[in-house]
Amino acid sequence: MEVGAAWMENVYPGDRNNLRSFLDTPDAVRAEKFVDYRLIAEEGDLLWVRHWLLHRSPAQDGRRRLQGMLMLIPEEKHLEWECLRVSERECNRVGQELHDDLCQVLAGMSFMTHVLGQRAARSAPELGGELKDLHTQITDVTERVRSMAHGLFPARLNYATLRDALNDFARQTRIRFSVQLTLDLPRKLPPHSPEQIIHLYRIAQEAVGNAVRHGGARVIRVAITPSARGLQLKIEDEGTGFPATSIRPEGIGMHVMQYRARVLGGSIRFKNRTPRGAAVLLSYSTSQQCSVQSPKKRPQP
């Protein structure tokens, strides 16, 4: 790193706001407090570090002097990235199998029940109504499975804008869960990379899925608003909320949401609403330099 340069100049742009917030926290000078972020090393490599703040010196010439301790954590972050990559690959595989196999079987069953219904109308009219109901149910299930497959394998996200991705997410969610979902987006959204879009899509997907499955929510609002860090993605529901013991991330899904937030250079909070319901709040940077990058492959020994 360049000798004499301000420390923040060496920090990855997508992580600077998060680091500033930590350094400005009054009780940050405590051994158990730390922040993880990326440093830009020689040749543009990114190094994950864990930073403890140990001492603050009075400001001189308008500049603060901070003393702390750093620990490289590339292996931990590399493992997190690999877990996320494998999870995404498995989601894509299951989604493709649902679409290419199960959806086709259901479509065939739907056609067969339709034909049987037409025949029954002539030879056994008393069965016509039941076959029509069966055909309707199979059609509904086919649409739900297709929506589920699309959610697991959103191939369009590789070229969609964030607005397109979230609109599609809202439509698929309404079909899959039969809930009232409101999407509130600003008139203008800054450009997002495909990697950023997939992380935002997955965070919204996990939050809404938890609200429906665990909170029994039937009314959900997804909104993007300006924040101090750039943008805030807010998912609110009117369900039963988080149990008192679950506000802190404990499940795998909530931990994955936290990791996705860190990759975006942001932070995520989980809280209950008054009088009922839950909220997931993601604040992240909108800098166009904050594209999500995978760690470089390690040389084999």
Residue 218: both structure tokens together: 């039937």
Task: Please report the sign of the dihedral spanned by the C-alpha atoms of residue 15, residue 21, residue 24, residue 30.
Answer: negative
- Residue 226 DSSP SS3: strand
Side chain identity at 236, as an amino acid letter?
A: E
Q: Could you give the dihedral angle defined by the CA atoms of residues 29, 35, 41 and 46, in that order, rounded to the nearest 10 degrees?
A: 180
Per-residue pLDDT of the chain (301 residues; tens, 9 = 90+): 454 557 888 898 888 888 888 888 877 776 578 888 888 887 777 888 888 888 877 767 767 778 888 888 766 666 666 666 767 777 767 777 776 778 778 878 887 888 888 888 788 888 878 888 888 888 888 887 877 766 666 756 665 789 999 998 998 889 888 899 999 999 999 998 888 888 899 899 889 989 998 899 999 999 999 887 789 999 999 999 988 755 555 667 788 888 888 888 889 999 999 999 999 999 998 763 433 344 444 333 3
* C-alpha triplet 233, 235, 237: angle, nearest 5°: 165
HEC string for 122-150: HHCHHHHHHHHHHHHHHHHHHHHHHHHHH
- Residue 264 DSSP SS3: coil
Q: Is the peptide bond preceding residue 154 cis, with omega within 30 degrees of 0? A: no
pLDDT of residue 289: 40
CATH of 7-72, one of 3.30.450.20, 3.40.50.12660, 1.20.1250.20, 3.90.1150.10: 3.30.450.20
pLDDT of residue 221: 97
- Residue 272 DSSP SS3: strand
* C-alpha triplet 166, 170, 171: angle, nearest 5°: 120
Report d(CA 279, CA 97) in Å as an integer. Answer: 33
Report d(CA 280, CA 266) in Å as an integer. Answer: 13
The tens digit of pLDDT for each residue in 138-158 reads 888 888 787 776 666 675 666
pLDDT of residue 238: 94
Query: Residue 200 half-sphere exposure, CB side, CA atoms within 13 Å?
Result: 36
pTM (global) more than 0.85: no
Domain spanning 155-293: which superfamily? Histidine kinase-like ATPase, C-terminal domain (3.30.565.10)
Side chain identity at 190, as an amino acid letter?
A: P
Q: Which residues have CB under 8 Å from 252's CB, separation 6+?
A: none
Could you tell me if 143 and 85 are in contact, meaning their C-beta atoms sit under 8 angstroms apart? no
Report d(CA 7, CA 4) in Å as an integer. Answer: 9
Residue 52: both structure tokens together: 């403890």
Quickly list DSSP for 18-85. HHHHHHH-TT--STT--EEEEEE-GGG-EEEEEEEEEEEEEEETTEEEEEEEEEE-HHHHHHHHHHHH
Residue 135: both structure tokens together: 């055909």
